[in-house]
Amino acid sequence: MGLIGDDDYDYLYKVVLIGDSGVGKSNLLSRFSTNKFSLDFKSTIGVDYATRRIQLGGQIIKGQIWDSAGQERYRAMTSPYYRGALGALIVYDITRKVTFENVERWLRELRDHTDQTIVVMLAGNKADLAHLRAVPTDEAKAFAEREHMFFMETSALKAINVEKAFTQLLSRIYQGKSPKAL
Ligand code: GDP
């Protein structure tokens, strides 16, 4: 097998991150794309997406993961954000119930803008703050099942399930064998 070039890939998949402000979307993305965590609450305006390549079944899958760049403060994203997305990670914060209650609205918006075949994962982030938990795991899991979403509790801070969540999303999309071009 030859050397893998810096930007070689077999499949390119767009994945969008959605969910309320402050739930940890940008930290999940930087953890997955560069393995970093930032303790500062910083505006994500200006950051459109980050990429990361993984190998699945001998193929190189390039995930192009879009962050909402602060727009989610208005609790809605515009259609260019969703365009071409094959996967979505809807994030809530396990310590803030309202962020879980809003998942339904995010899901509805997502479904209004994307194809039925989109692969969706629900991520209950900040799982390291178990002592402050406000959303029971079972409740979130049952909701995810009803809505045909995958489910995982994650921690961007402690790097728990972050790799797993994104990899599972990308591999589910891959199993659907979507085209290389967006
Ligand atoms: P976003 O607005 O959804 O993009 O959220 P950010 O990624 O900016 O994170 C918001 C705040 O939550 C920041 O202060 C982060 O340091 C913190 N945070 C993000 N993920 C975690 C996590 O897994 N655990 C803990 N304890 N804090 C987190």
Predicted local confidence at residue 39, as pLDDT: 56
> Is there an atom of ligand 1 within 6 Å of 24 CB?
yes
Predicted local confidence at residue 48, as pLDDT: 75
pTM: 0.91
* ipTM associated with this complex: 0.99
Predicted local confidence at residue 1, as pLDDT: 40
Residue 159 Cα distances to 29, 103, 154, angstroms: 11, 22, 8
CA of 28 to the centre of ligand 1 (A): 8
pLDDT under 70: residue ranges of the chain = 1-6, 35-47, 75, 177-182
Predicted local confidence at residue 40, as pLDDT: 54
CA of 151 to the centre of ligand 1 (A): 19
* CA–CA separation, 8 and 82 (whole Å): 25
pLDDT digits (tens, 9 = 90+) for 77-99: 888 899 999 999 999 999 999 99
Matching residue, tokens 């365009």: 83
Which of 27, 71, 93, 125 maximizes ligand 1 atoms within 8 Å of its Cβ, making it the mutation to test the pocket?
27
> Is there an atom of ligand 1 within 6 Å of 25 CB?
yes
> Is there an atom of ligand 1 within 6 Å of 26 CB?
yes
* CA–CA separation, 27 and 108 (whole Å): 24
* CA–CA separation, 36 and 159 (whole Å): 9
Predicted local confidence at residue 182, as pLDDT: 46
Q: With left for phi above 0 and alpha for psi between -120 and 50, is residue 99 left, alpha or beta?
A: alpha
pLDDT digits (tens, 9 = 90+) for 98-124: 999 999 999 999 999 998 899 999 999
